[in-house]
Amino acid sequence: MNAAADPRWREAGEVRIGIVGLGTILGQYLDTFDRAAGARVVAVADLDPVRTAEVAARTGARPLTAAELMADGEVDVVLNLTVPAAHAEIAQAAVAAGKPVYGEKPLTATGEQAHQLLGAAESTGVRLGGAPDTVLGTGVQTARAVIDAGTIGTPVAANATFAAPGHERWHPNPDFYYLPGGGPLMAWARTT
């Protein structure tokens, strides 16, 4: 059953969340859920069973495998916090289970995976969402409106700069960022 179309959790005023991937970014989401009325983490899964058990104990959620979480009728929405290389697999499993899924960036590691995921979601009516939602903020939306209105003419080039001392300054295990499909360096890795 498509949880997005299931009125039971909407009527109850509660969204029951299952989280797959319990790494560094998890704390920010848990802090948000603590302040969000109606959001309750009911199940957690990670490749590391010890970490799964620790997070389950901390949150009161049930420790499951990813496959168990997808099949669990108590999970309304899947939050995909895995490393980028696993985003497509986990999101596809959620869609196949009829569960809406929200994932950390990037949506998938490749454009082909993204097209397949979007197609699967569209054909099943399952909703997808993903970080960063900053594209909906005023800066990006203003820039888009200016471009769409033709105010600056037709853009012929763009430049983006990522200026930071590196993931090593804040992430305890940043290696995945430097693998194919692993983050901001994704485009660079494909062109060199």
Q: How big is the CA angle at 105 (ends 101 and 107), to the nearest 5 degrees?
A: 55
For residue 158, the enclosing domain spans 136-191
Do 163 and 111 lie in one domain? The reply is no
pLDDT (mean) for 33-58: 94
**What is the number of domains present in the chain?**
2
Answer with the one of 96, 118, 133 that is the final residue of a domain.
Answer: 133
The reported pLDDT for the residue numbered 184 is: 53
Q: 172 vs 131, which has greater pLDDT?
A: 131
Do 90 and 79 lie in one domain? The reply is yes
- 73's CB contacts (< 8 A; 6+ apart) are none
Full-model pTM: 0.75
Model confidence pLDDT, tens digit, residues 135-166: 767 888 888 899 999 999 998 887 767 666 77
Average pLDDT, the chain: 84
Do 103 and 15 lie in one domain? The reply is yes
Answer with the one of 109, 133, 157 that is the final residue of a domain.
Answer: 133
Do 109 and 175 lie in one domain? The reply is no
Do 111 and 141 lie in one domain? The reply is no
> If DSSP states are collapsed to H, E and C, what string results for 16-38?
EEEEECCCCCHHHHHHHHHHCCC
Tell whether the model's pLDDT for residue 5 goes beyond 60.
Answer: no
Query: Cα separation of 46 and 64, whole Å?
Result: 8
Do 123 and 155 lie in one domain? The reply is no
Do 143 and 125 lie in one domain? The reply is no
Do 26 and 91 lie in one domain? The reply is yes
CB 29 within 8 A of CB 81: yes
Name the E strands within 61-171: 62-63, 77-80, 101-103, 128-130
The reported pLDDT for the residue numbered 171 is: 72
Answer with the one of 133, 148, 163 that is the final residue of a domain.
Answer: 133
Do 67 and 156 lie in one domain? The reply is no
Do 142 and 124 lie in one domain? The reply is no
User: Residue 23 maps to which CATH number?
Assistant: 3.40.50.720
The reported pLDDT for the residue numbered 50 is: 97
pLDDT (mean) for 56-81: 97
Q: Tell me which residue has tokens 């979480």.
A: 69
Q: How confident is the model at residue 190 (pLDDT cuts 50, 70, 90)?
A: very low
Do 11 and 83 lie in one domain? The reply is yes
Do 141 and 66 lie in one domain? The reply is no
Percent of residues, the chain, with pLDDT higher than 70: 81
When mean pLDDT is compared over 2-6, 43-47, 111-115, the highest value belongs to 43-47
